[in-house]
Amino acid sequence: MMMKNLTHGHSLSQRCARLSLGLGVILTSGLAQAVNDLPGGPKVNQLNLHEPVTQIGVQQHFLHNFMLVVCIAIFVAVFGVMFYSILKHRKSLGHKPANFHESVAVEIAWTIVPFIIVIGMGALATRTVVAMKDTSNADLTVKATGYQWKWGYDYLKGEGEGIAFLSTLDVAHRIMSDTGKPAGDNYLLKVDNALVVPVNKKVRIITTANDVIHAWMVPSLGVKQDAIPGFVRDTWFRADKVGDYYGQCAELCGKEHAYMPIHVKVVTAEDYAKWVDGKKKEMAALADDPTKEWQLAELVARGEKVYAANCAACHKADGKGAGAIKALDASAVVLDAEHDKQIAIMLNGAANGAMPAWRTLSDTEIAAVMTYTKNSWSNSTGQLVQPAAIVAARK
């Protein structure tokens, strides 16, 4: 038995050595995949919090480092005692057990001292808690709305008031994820429209959501705030450095939870004014006239884009759906010559919100995507849904 155990131990240590060697090889090959730090986003093998660009972030950073140092000091002191005891007070060294088993003085001391320490820690953090919650006197107020699975931004107050857009993960990144071939320093963090804000201005973010709870998080700005459907919450930041800052949704919100990043672009006051100007012009140009009569081909072409951006994540590019997600291909509702039912589902959602309400899309977009589903895959109804029908249904 003894011999067997010994040989066992030998081969085990050999195996451990081989394993650690293999581990090293794997890790270095991992590093070989060309990835660099993303400024404003995660660094490669980052060990601590993001570099803060707001006062709150600086305080969070300080508090964390402070706590880490205090905890490590206590840890070393306490376990220094334990390991000293483990090394010295062994039966194998002939140490005889002492007989003490209580001491009121010691008990009181190690209740009071930790009490004072934790209250001190709390006192140190209190100022930051109060500062974090002070969202008054903002220069710019933006509403961030969580959708499954994208963010919507509405500039409510301040320079740029009235600007509104959706911010979605770059579709190429979603495809890279599905095919298991990720690449790029900003993998899963690249969006089509970044939230643009001016530097050194107090920006208040009001969060809410359309369907389930999301969370709007940007580590460099020191901000994380849940976005709760039916409720509004707020948070704020004042970035003191121009740059791009990245974050992701931090509250489980369904299957595409990992695919709704946040990109905040902090620019100078002049650049911000320029951006606002450009954005307003762009919005005016893009605004569809809902009374326009469309031709089938152009509406299908428009609808294809809307479908890819909003519908394909669940219903799939081939319209076949998956699992609980209904197929649109050969669906009776889609093929129906009466459009009311499909319009109602588009506007109000279905299946307890598993199919979201798409009221945020414009009349033209809803009409276009319906026309697209009616004339794609095996569906070839030739039916055309004009935006006017949606306008009527919304009333």
Partner 1 sequence: MSAVLDPQGQAGGHADDHHDHAHPYGWRRWLYATNHKDIGTMYLLFSFAMLMVGGVLALGIRAELFQPGLQFVNPELFNQLTTMHGLIMVFGAIMPAFVGFANWMIPLQIGAADMAFARMNNLSFWLLIPAALTLVGSFFMPGGAPAAGWTLYAPLTLQMGPSMDAAIFAMHIMGASSIMGSINIIVTILNMRAPGMTLMKMPLFCWTWLITAYLLIAVMPVLAGAITMTLTDRHFGTNFFNPAGGGDPIMYQHIFWFFGHPEVYIMILPAFGIISAIIPAFARKRLFGYTSMVYATASIAILSFIVWAHHMYTTGMPVTGQLFFMYATMLIAVPTGVKIFNWIATMWRGSMTFETPMLWSVGFIFVFTMGGFTGLILAMAPIDIQLQDTYYVVAHFHYVLVAGSLFGMFAGYYYWAPKWTGVMYSEFRGKVHFWGSLIFFNITFFPMHFLGLAGMPRRYADYPMQFADFNMLASIGAFGFGFMQVYFFLAVVVPAMRGKGEPAPQKPWEAAEGLEWEVPSPAPWHTFETPPKLNATATRVIG
Around Cβ 283, how many Cβ atoms within 10 Å?
13
Is residue 31 near partner 1 by the rule CB under 8 A? yes
Is residue 26 near partner 1 by the rule CB under 8 A? yes
Query: Which three-class secondary structure state does DSSP give residue 4?
Result: helix
Around Cβ 240, how many Cβ atoms within 10 Å?
14
Is residue 254 near partner 1 by the rule CB under 8 A? yes
Give the amino acid at 43: K
* Contact assessment for residue 266 and residue 57, using Cβ atoms and an 8 Å cutoff: no
Among 14, 48, 291, 381, binds partner 1 (CB under 8 A): 48
Q: How many residues in the shown chain lie near partner 1 by CB under 8 A?
A: 122
CB of 47 to partner 1, least distance (A): 5
Burial of 40 (0-12, 13-18, 19+ CB in 10 A): buried
Around Cβ 58, how many Cβ atoms within 10 Å?
15
Residues between 258 and 287 with contacts to partner 1, criterion CB under 8 A: 258-259
Q: How far separated are the first and last CA of the chain, in Å rounded?
A: 85
Among 3, 284, 324, 332, binds partner 1 (CB under 8 A): 324
Residues between 339 and 358 with contacts to partner 1, criterion CB under 8 A: 351-354
Look at the chain and count its residues. Answer: 395
Of 30 and 278, which CB lies nearer to partner 1 in the complex structure? 30
Is residue 41 near partner 1 by the rule CB under 8 A? yes
Of 8 and 341, which CB lies nearer to partner 1 in the complex structure? 8
**Could you identify the residue written with the tokens 């009221």?**
359
- Contacts (Cβ under 8 Å, ≥6 apart) of 223: 54, 56, 205, 216, 217, 235, 236, 237, 247
Residues between 207 and 236 with contacts to partner 1, criterion CB under 8 A: 207, 211-213, 215, 217, 219, 222-226, 228-231, 233-235
Is residue 243 near partner 1 by the rule CB under 8 A? no
Is residue 38 near partner 1 by the rule CB under 8 A? yes
Is residue 312 near partner 1 by the rule CB under 8 A? no
Residues between 359 and 388 with contacts to partner 1, criterion CB under 8 A: none
Which residue(s) pair with 243 in the sheet?
Answer: 266
**Among 59-67, 270-278, 291-299, 367-375, the segment contacting partner 1 (CB under 8 A):** 59-67
Is residue 136 near partner 1 by the rule CB under 8 A? no
Residues 129-138: contacts with CB under 8 Å, at least 24 apart: 131/55, 131/56, 131/59, 132/56, 132/235, 134/236, 135/204, 135/234, 135/235, 135/236, 137/202, 138/202, 138/203, 138/204, 138/236
CB of 2 to partner 1, least distance (A): 9
CB of 101 to partner 1, least distance (A): 4
CB of 284 to partner 1, least distance (A): 33
Is residue 51 near partner 1 by the rule CB under 8 A? no
> What x-and-dash track marks residues 192-211 binding partner 1 by CB under 8 A?
---------------x---x
* Contact assessment for residue 194 and residue 264, using Cβ atoms and an 8 Å cutoff: yes
